[in-house]
A = this chain, B = another copy of it.
Amino acid sequence: MLNLTEQPITAADKTFFQLRKDIVEGVVLAGSKLSETELSTKYSVSRAVIREAINRLATCHIVERKANVGARVVSLSPEGLVDLYQVRESLEGMAARLAAQNMTDAEIADLNTLLNVHSQDVKNHGSYYQEAGDVDFHYRIILGSKNNHLIAMLVNGIYHLVRMYRVQLGMSGPRVSTAFEEHKHIVQAICNRDGELAEMLMRRHILYSKNNIQRKLAPQLEA
């Protein structure tokens, strides 16, 4: 576990990655049932590897499994989003604090470089902040915490579910332009080795992000 490069080794690995991708991107619909026989023909593997892939998806909280009944893709709800982002706020805030304490100077320099690249992207593409860039930013801070349990829980725990919410409920809009500025301030705090501030800024950043998605999830409440 904790395969950061996500290099598939076995057939179960490949199927797991592919199925996860399909679910996160909405190719396999949220809330739909996952039939083992159906998937085994679709992905051309035996039911055993499908079962293993589904079990791994269950550990990511992306599918829910009931004994003798089967597995369903989770459905996205406002309550689920709140619960998820509460946990994320706590864990990633902690990651930022630990990162300020444990990242090497070289790693922090790399983080600054990444930020400069994004700055150019924002200028060139008109203040559009790439999803991949944002994920990369958060990944580095998570890894920078150097806490293996924390890393495992986030990277192969809840992070793909977070991505699922973001991909399927839109992360475009006016919000994305401000995210970059927030990232800058977080890195600044980490540079100063100010863990407390880094944690607070990260928590705010995630809170804003939650509010942004929440608006799209329940647009009827805006009126």
With A9-B68, A94-B90 as known contacts, state yes or no: A153 contacts B147, CB within 8 Å: no
With A48-B48, A157-B153 as known contacts, state yes or no: A86 contacts B98, CB within 8 Å: yes
* Copies assembled: 2
Q: Which residues of B contact A56 (CB under 8 A)?
A: 55
Q: Which residues of B contact A150 (CB under 8 A)?
A: 83, 86-87
Q: Are B87 and A10 in contact (CB under 8 A)?
A: no
CA distance A58 to B55 in the complex (A): 11
A64 partner, pick from B1, B13, B58, B98, beta carbons under 8 A = B1
Q: Which residues of B contact A152 (CB under 8 A)?
A: 61
With A1-B58, A59-B59, A90-B91 as known contacts, state yes or no: A67 contacts B13, CB within 8 Å: yes
The reply to whether the CB of A123 lies closer than 8 angstroms to some CB of chain B is no
What would 11 A/B residue contacts be, using CB atoms closer than 8 Å?
Answer: A1-B58, A1-B64, A10-B68, A48-B48, A55-B56, A59-B59, A80-B149, A83-B148, A87-B94, A87-B149, A153-B157
Name the 4 nearest CB pairs between A and B, nearest first. Answer: A59-B59, A9-B67, A83-B147, A83-B149
Interface contacts beyond A48-B48, A61-B149: sample of 14 additional A-B pairs, CB < 8 Å, sorted by A: A9-B68, A10-B68, A13-B67, A51-B52, A52-B55, A86-B98, A86-B147, A87-B94, A87-B147, A87-B149, A87-B150, A87-B153, A153-B157, A153-B158
